[in-house]
C-alpha cells in the first residue's frame, strides 16, 4: 500500500451536518417515543399475558437497566471503531427488541425484548451524542443538541396521544402490541439512512489514537473494566427494580458492590501502570469542567424525572383525574419545552453558561410555587392551576438549560474521546434518575404504607418535591462555578486538546 493510501485510510470522512441531524432526530424519536408509551401498555400486558406484579416491574424497568449497561462500552467502541458500526448494530437491536415485544406470546419474551431494546438504545444514544460532537462546533453544537432536546419533547407529546388512540380504537389484544411497535418506523428509517449515508470507519486504526495501548500499540477497549463496571451497574440497580432484592438481599448486594468497586479500582490502576488506556480515561477524570458538568447533569436530571413522576402520580391518584385529563394538563409543559429548546442556542450565545444557572433557578422557583400552594392548603382547582403553570415554567427551564449543559460538559472532552464522554454523561444521569425516582416514590407513598392501598397524599407530594428542590439547589451551586460559565468558544479549545 502506498503512503498516500495509508494516509487516506487513517482518515474517516465526516458525514454532512444535515445527515448527522437527521440521524440524531430519527434515533431520538425512536428511543424517546418508546419510553413515553410503554407505561400505557402495562395493564393490557398484565391481563393478556397473565403477568404478575414482579414480571410487570421487570417489563417496565429492564429497559432502563440494560440502557445503562449498553452505555458502558458503547461510547468507547464508537471512539475506537467509528460511529457507523455501533450505531447500525444498536438500531438493529432496538428494532428487533421492539418486534419481539410486540409479538411476545408470554411475558418472559416481552421482558427479553425490552432487555434487547435497552442494549440497543445504549449503543444508539452514545453514537448520536458522539456524532453531534464530531460534526458540530461552537454555537452550532448547541443548536444540534437543542434539536435533539426538541425531539424528546415532541415524543413526550406525540407518544401518549398515539398510544391512547391505538388502545381506544383497536381490540386490547392488538392495541398494546401496536403501541409497543410505534418506535419501529423511526428506527427502521434511521437505520436505512445510517447504512446509506454514514461513512465507513478506516480499515486500520490510527497509530496515534489515544485508545491504543502506548506500550504495544494495540487497540485498548479495557473489556475487563467494562465487565466490572457493568456488574456494578447491575448490582446498584437491582434493589431499586426488584422489591424482593430490596427487602432481603441488600446486605449481599452491598457486599458484592464493594468487592466489585475494589476490583475495578485495582484493575484500572494496573492498566494505567502498564501504560494502557483505562476505562476511566485520565483526560476525562482529571477535567474539572467535565466532572463538574456531570455532577450538575446528574442532580438536575434525577430531580426533574423524580419531580415529573411525583406530579403525574399525584394527578392520577391523589387528585383522581384519570389518564386522559392528566396527559392533557401536562401537554403545555411539553410544548413550551420544544419552543425553549429551539431558543437555547441563542440564549447561550448571549450569556454563555449562565443560561444553565438561569434554567436551574427557574425550576427551583417552579417547585417552590407548588410547595407554597400545598402548604397553603389551596383547594384542588387552585392547586391544579398552580401545578400546570409551574410545570410550564419547568418545561421552559428544561428546554433552555439541557442543550447548553450537554454542549459545555462534553466540550471538555478531547476529540478522540467524544463517544466515551457522552456515554459517561448519560450513564451518570441514568443512575441518578433511577435512584431519585425510587426515593421520591417511596416518600410519595409513605403515608399509605399501612393502608393496604397505595395512595398519594398532599403530604407525600410535599415531601417528594422538597427533596427534588434540594437536589436542584445542589446542581445550581455547582453550575455557578467559573469553569462552567465559559462560553462555547472556550470549551471548544478544550475539546481539541490531546488525551
The pTM score is 0.75
Q: C-alpha angle with apex 355: 352 to 357, nearest 5 degrees?
A: 120
Q: How far apart are CA 175 and CA 173, in angstroms?
A: 6
Residue % of the chain over a pLDDT of 70: 82
Q: How far apart are CA 113 and CA 129, in angstroms?
A: 24
Query: pLDDT tens across 267-315, in order?
Result: 888 877 776 667 677 778 888 889 999 999 999 988 988 888 788 778 8
Say which residues have a Cβ less than 8 Å from residue 218's Cβ, sequence separation at least 6.
212
CA-CA-CA-CA torsion for 205, 206, 208, 211, nearest 10 degrees?
A: -30
Mean of pLDDT values over 198-220 = 55
**pLDDT at 496 exceeding the cut of 60:** no
The pLDDT of residue 240: 64
Helices (H), 352-457: 354-375, 380-410, 418-445
Query: pLDDT tens across 354-376, in order?
Result: 899 999 999 999 999 999 988 87
Mean of pLDDT values over 43-52 = 81
The pLDDT of residue 221: 63
Q: How far apart are CA 97 and CA 187, in angstroms?
A: 11
Q: Which cell numbers hold the place of 263?
A: 476490583
The residue behind cell 483526560 is 283
Name the pLDDT band for 214 (thresholds 50, 70, 90).
Answer: very low
Give the DSSP H/E element, type plus range, for residue 15.
none
CATH architecture of 14-201: Up-down Bundle (1.20)
Q: How far apart are CA 489 and CA 470, in angstroms?
A: 32
Better pLDDT: 245 or 328:
328
Mean pLDDT taken over the chain: 80
Answer yes or no: CATH 1.20.1250.20 is held by domain 280-487.
yes
If DSSP codes are grouped into helix, strand and coil, which group holds residue 316? helix
Mean of pLDDT values over 166-190 = 89
- Picking from 348, 297, 231, 289, the residue whose alpha carbon sits closest to that of residue 476 is 297
Map 235-296 to HEC letters.
HHHHHHHCHHHHHHCHHHHHHHHHHHHHHHHHHHHHHHHCCCCCCCCHHHHCCHHHHHHHHH
Q: How far apart are CA 278 and CA 282, in angstroms?
A: 8
Query: pLDDT tens across 426-437, in order?
Result: 878 877 877 777
The pLDDT of residue 392: 92
**pLDDT at 5 exceeding the cut of 60:** no
Name the pLDDT band for 257 (thresholds 50, 70, 90).
Answer: confident
Q: How far apart are CA 378 and CA 11, in angstroms?
A: 64
Q: Which residues pair with 219 in a beta bridge?
A: 212
Name the pLDDT band for 456 (thresholds 50, 70, 90).
Answer: low
Amino acid at each position: 500500500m502506498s503512503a498516500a493510501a495509508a494516509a487516506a485510510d487513517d482518515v474517516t470522512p465526516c458525514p454532512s451536518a444535515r445527515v448527522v441531524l437527521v440521524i440524531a432526530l430519527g434515533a431520538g424519536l425512536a428511543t424517546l417515543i418508546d419510553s413515553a408509551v410503554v407505561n400505557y401498555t402495562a395493564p393490557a400486558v398484565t391481563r393478556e399475558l397473565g403477568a404478575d406484579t414482579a414480571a410487570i416491574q421487570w417489563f417496565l424497568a429492564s429497559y432502563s437497566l440494560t440502557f445503562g449497561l449498553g452505555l458502558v462500552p458503547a461510547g468507547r467502541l464508537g471512539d475506537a471503531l467509528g460511529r457507523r458500526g455501533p450505531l447500525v448494530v444498536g438500531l438493529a437491536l432496538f428494532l428487533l427488541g421492539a418486534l419481539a415485544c410486540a409479538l411476545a406470546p408470554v411475558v418472559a419474551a416481552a421482558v427479553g425484548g425490552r432487555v434487547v431494546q435497552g442494549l440497543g438504545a445504549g449503543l444508539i444514544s452514545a453514537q448520536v451524542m458522539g456524532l453531534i460532537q464530531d460534526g458540530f462546533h461552537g454555537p452550532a453544537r448547541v443548536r444540534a443538541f437543542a434539536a435533539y432536546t426538541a425531539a424528546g419533547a415532541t415524543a413526550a407529546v406525540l407518544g401518549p396521544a398515539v398510544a391512547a388512540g391505538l388502545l381506544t380504537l383497536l381490540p386490547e389484544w392488538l392495541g398494546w402490541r401496536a403501541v409497543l411497535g410505534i418506535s419501529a418506523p423511526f428506527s427502521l428509517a434511521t437505520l436505512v439512512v445510517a447504512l446509506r449515508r454514514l461513512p465507513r470507519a478506516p480499515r486500520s486504526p490510527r497509530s496515534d489514537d489515544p485508545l491504543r495501548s502506548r506500550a504495544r500499540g494495540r487497540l485498548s477497549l479495557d473489556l475487563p473494566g467494562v465487565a466490572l463496571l457493568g456488574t456494578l451497574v447491575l448490582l446498584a440497580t437491582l434493589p431499586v427494580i426488584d422489591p424482593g432484592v430490596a427487602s432481603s438481599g441488600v446486605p449481599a448486594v452491598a457486599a458484592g458492590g464493594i468487592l466489585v468497586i475494589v476490583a475495578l479500582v485495582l484493575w484500572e490502576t494496573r492498566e494505567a501502570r502498564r501504560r494502557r488506556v483505562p476505562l476511566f480515561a485520565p483526560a476525562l477524570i482529571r477535567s474539572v469542567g467535565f466532572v463538574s458538568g456531570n455532577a450538575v447533569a446528574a442532580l438536575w436530571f434525577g430531580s426533574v424525572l423524580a419531580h415529573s413522576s411525583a406530579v403525574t402520580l399525584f394527578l392520577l391518584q391523589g387528585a383522581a383525574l384519570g389518564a386522559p385529563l392528566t396527559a392533557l394538563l401536562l401537554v403545555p409543559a411539553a410544548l413550551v419545552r420544544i419552543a425553549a429548546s429551539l431558543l437555547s442556542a441563542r440564549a447561550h450565545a448571549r450569556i454563555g453558561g449562565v443560561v444553565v444557572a438561569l434554567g436551574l433557578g427557574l425550576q427551583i422557583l417552579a417547585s417552590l410555587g407548588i410547595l407554597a400552594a400545598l402548604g397553603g392548603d389551596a383547594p384542588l382547582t387552585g392547586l391544579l392551576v398552580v401545578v400546570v403553570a409551574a410545570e410550564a415554567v419547568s418545561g421552559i427551564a428544561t428546554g433552555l438549560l439541557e442543550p447548553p449543559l450537554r454542549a459545555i460538559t462534553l466540550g471538555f472532552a478531547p476529540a478522540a474521546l467524544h463517544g466515551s464522554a457522552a456515554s459517561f454523561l448519560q450513564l451518570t444521569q441514568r443512575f441518578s434518575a433511577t435512584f431519585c425516582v425510587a426515593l421520591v416514590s417511596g416518600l410519595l407513598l409513605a403515608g399509605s404504607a399501612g393502608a393496604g392501598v397505595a395512595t398519594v397524599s398532599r403530604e407525600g407530594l410535599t415531601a417528594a418535591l422538597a427533596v427534588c428542590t434540594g437536589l436542584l439547589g445542589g446542581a445550581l451551586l455547582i453550575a455557578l462555578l467559573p469553569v462552567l460559565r465559559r462560553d462555547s468558544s472556550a470549551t471548544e479549545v478544550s475539546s481539541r486538546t490531546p488525551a
